[in-house]
Amino acid sequence: MLSGLNREIVLVAGGPPCQSFSVFGKREGINDLRGQLVFDFIRLIDELRPHVFIMENVRGLLSMPIIPRSKNSKSELEHPPEFSAHGSLLRRILSEFEKIGYRVDCFVVNAVNYGAPQIRERLICIGNRHNRLADFPVPSYSNRPGDGLPPFKTLGEVIGDGFIDPCPEVMNFSPRKLKYLAQVPPGGNWRSLPVEIQQESMGKSWYLKGGRSAYWRKLSFAFPSPTVVTMPNHAGTSMCHPTELRAITVGEAAAIQEFPQGWEFAGNTTAKFRQVGNAVPTVLGKVAGGVVLKLLQDIQNGQKKNSEALLTHRIIHVRPHVRTRSFWRNGRVYAGDVSYYAGDEDVEVDKKTEQLRLGLDDAVSLLAIN
């Protein structure tokens, strides 16, 4: 055995590098050497034979082909066309797990649904060699009034008034970027700028389709944070502090990920942001751990297998795609402190920033959202 261990291994948990699958990267898949490490994870599971494993990755792995189309032009004759099919890489990974006797449940989840102050989608695959089903709990927080659940935790609750920053290191924006961000109200983004300034600041990106909501983004204390990234000072993934003209600090990013207050990060500021940005929100680790604990208890109690043949793997979406804010609706620009579920007339806003955000002389009345 590779590990040299002479006893049973109950659990292996890991996250093969996700950069080659992430929508924030080049999405080169297994053409990127980091992307190939997912198969080393499978090899380790085969050699260590744990009762249960957890494999965490970005949502982008769901759609990743084995051979990305941009890289397939010279190899179309060498590989079957299904290698370029949507989601073929994950199907291959699950097939490899099944070959070594593990059935897998994949859960597409969002940390904000479980109490994290951050919108962060993740793919959590839980496999076992006892042919049992795993089940992820339903969300315990929501921004939909009809769900009857506690509201999402907000950025203001973790880095607002009273927050003591344990690591105030910052990778700040350039003077040019700060010039544009100074014109954006709290909760706003590029849409808050005059059209001519939008075009000047974004260049060719201004003509692209899609929301591009992270361009010149200034965070809001009134809503959960967007996904913490490793480079918060980039124009296209801006994480500007709501009330201070700067990028968020290492300590603030760590608080959003819910690291313990005294947690220490190693290396320079860039390295520290990489450690924070590539981490899994601690609440997801706790929830996934609870799923594994129940699964192990079922195994220990000797519950009968569901069938002799391995049950088919499952991919289950547990409300992963969450929208909290509106930046644009019906031809009108909002700064981002407007609930996605607010109606055209029923707009819930932060009293402290509403005049700055909307440029109104009179404050907008707060109305209940149905």
* Residue 32 neighbours by CB distance under 10 Å: 18
Distance CA 295, CA 289 (A): 10
Distance CA 2, CA 188 (A): 52
Distance CA 347, CA 333 (A): 13
> What letter represents residue 78's amino acid?
E
* Residue 368 neighbours by CB distance under 10 Å: 7
Distance CA 266, CA 254 (A): 13
Distance CA 143, CA 167 (A): 31
Helix ranges restricted to H, 219-281: 250-256, 269-277
Q: Are 80 and 92 within 8 A, CB to CB?
A: no
18 is catalytic: yes
* Residue 330 neighbours by CB distance under 10 Å: 6
Residue 260 burial class via C-beta count within 10 angstroms: exposed 0-12, middle 13-18, buried 19 and up: exposed
Identified catalytic residue from 18, 106, 125, 240: 18
Strands 52-57 and 11-14: parallel
Q: Return the structure tokens found at 189.
A: 């983004």
CA proximity to 130, closest of 308, 312, 315, 316: 308
Catalytic residues: 18
